Amino acid sequence: MPSSKLLGAIAAPAVLSMVCTGLVFAAQPGQAAPPAAPAGSKHDHRKAPRPNIVYVMADDLGWSDLGTGRTNGGHGNDFNETPVLDSLAEEGAVFDNAYASPQCAPTRSALLTGQYATRPTNNIYAVGGINNTTTSPLVGVPQGRADGAVNAVPTEFPTFAETLQDAGYSTGYAGKFHVAATAQEIVESHGFDESWGGGPWSHATVYHASGGTFNDTVAPELDKYAADYSQEYVDENIAPYSQGVSEEQVDALVGTPKHVTDAITDAAIDYIDRSKDKDKPFFTYLSQYAPHFPVANFQARTDLLAKYQAKTPAADPASPAYAALVEGIDQSVARVIDYLEETPDPRNHGRPLADNTLVIFTSDNGGETNQGSFNEPLRGRKSELYDGGVRIPWIVWSGNRDLVKPRSTNHTVINGVDLYPTLASYAGAKLPKRVPLDGIDLRPAFSKGRELDRDLFHHLPGYIRGGAEPGSTIRSGRWKLYYFYTDQRFELYDLQSDIGETDDVSERHPRLVRSLGTKLGAWLDRTSAPLATLRAGQPPVVIDGFTGLTYAEGRLARHRGDTITIEPGEEVPFVLPTR
């Protein structure tokens, strides 16, 4: 495929790089292309060594925030421009039923641990805890670690990165981490050889460096990449990927502070460059702070902001600052893909790195609509259990069709807990013994396009400020069932015919509610899910003549005409009537 750098270099006078449209980039001007496999060579992808892996996560990117419609059922954004991600979605595999948690910390902990939040070795449900209100009728459970680290996974639990390390991988982390008590834990306890910028912070309060350093919400290791933009840097890393931006606007970046999105990309590519010659595969986690709030004009890169301020909005909501942050992520991905396409692979002779690298792109939760994100036609936003809060774009790409089935759309319901067993499968790694991993191996879906049948669960035993109340959900096929603990209410939606969750059909399908509710109760029991408790001062909750199933205090119980009384301080149960 023509290199975006090559096309950008010949576009004049404005810098107008084109979208990459094939599977192989040409080399950039002045650089030799990777040697082709000799004619008649016995080399083929099936004999390639274990693959490299690059995992890219955006922060708060909504389901409908990408330009492509392939990741979101045809609901691509008509204001944001993401040409390279659109191209990867066209060339690779997309999953239009991909889910996360309603906020970033629980998603990131589930990724690392391969476990639902209900497990004691995860126990992270939201940012900052779920017991942050004193007026609610229920009291949320304490979350986090016993040492008081609310958003930190246990250091003694094996993460997927440690499993990859044990299998001989080099592992590097660039960007937001959030679920460690300190930046040092990332490399000391969570399986990464190196880390730049990550720590316990939920977001970067300022996106640009100042005087060659980022502020204290970004770990100082990233300062190595925080120097002001030079002419050489702009020519090499900004101009080739610019579309709809004048040469003058791009050159105006010279001498201005580095944007954290670019610095994280610099760190990731530098790590890949240093790792490729170690005669072992690499795993690189590139975790962007953008487009998380604060979303404001001064946070965006000036060339991209000017582009969107001059653009006429169409039907979808338009936020120039937000769109600029999103396109900055697209350019980051473009740089990584270019590097993989242009760099010979020492472990896979005659091939570029891309031919033996698995690339995954996704987001950590639904979009924050009051910051410029767009989730429609889904209902809800970040911090809610409805699909707008938890459904995310998910793209898988490789230059090797044995790693990823090209041009495929997969409707399998997937989740971040699936990453652990999936990466272990690609890496040929042994899963830790006596660890109850909750995810499934997605490799058959990634590489063969198989539709996998599984149920997906979420549980919130407390409150998210400005968002969800205590509830549990199950997504099973086309159906999504919600249970709300404050009033023992079920809601049921047919996502195939009602993707916006506007028509609650629970009363029309009582048998289906009982069937899915039984699965949900069994899952709560299987994972020993903690429940919110009735707040002191609240009147007891009494359920007379109850026949059905309950879950509380770590066990399932069946009732026939019983009276159930919940006193203040006791768990408010999951209650499923069977008649």
- Reported as half-sphere exposure (CB side, CA atoms, 13 A), residue 227 has a value of 10
Which residue in 20, 75, 104, 458 is the catalytic one? Answer: 104
> Given the DSSP bridges, would you call strands 533-534 and 489-494 parallel, antiparallel or unpaired?
unpaired
Which residue in 75, 178, 208, 458 is the catalytic one? Answer: 178
178 classed as catalytic: yes
Could you tell me the CA-to-CA distances from 576 to 227, 519, 558 in Å, in that order?
A: 59, 11, 10
Question: What is the spatial distance between Cα 190 and Cα 364, in angstroms, rounded to a whole number?
Answer: 19
The runs of H, that is alpha helices, within 434-569 are 443-448, 510-526
Question: What is the spatial distance between Cα 353 and Cα 274, in angstroms, rounded to a whole number?
Answer: 13
Is the peptide bond prior to 13 cis by the omega test (within 30 degrees of 0)?
yes
Which long-range CB contacts under 8 A does 116-123 form with residues at least 24 apart?
116/417, 116/438, 116/457, 116/458, 116/459, 116/527, 117/143, 117/459, 118/459, 118/524, 118/527, 118/528, 118/529, 118/530, 119/436, 119/438, 119/527, 119/528, 120/528, 121/153, 121/154, 121/157, 121/435, 122/153
104 classed as catalytic: yes
Q: What is the DSSP letter of 78?
A: S
> Considering only CA atoms, which of 404, 489, 491, 387 is closest in space to residue 449?
404
Active-site positions read 104, 178
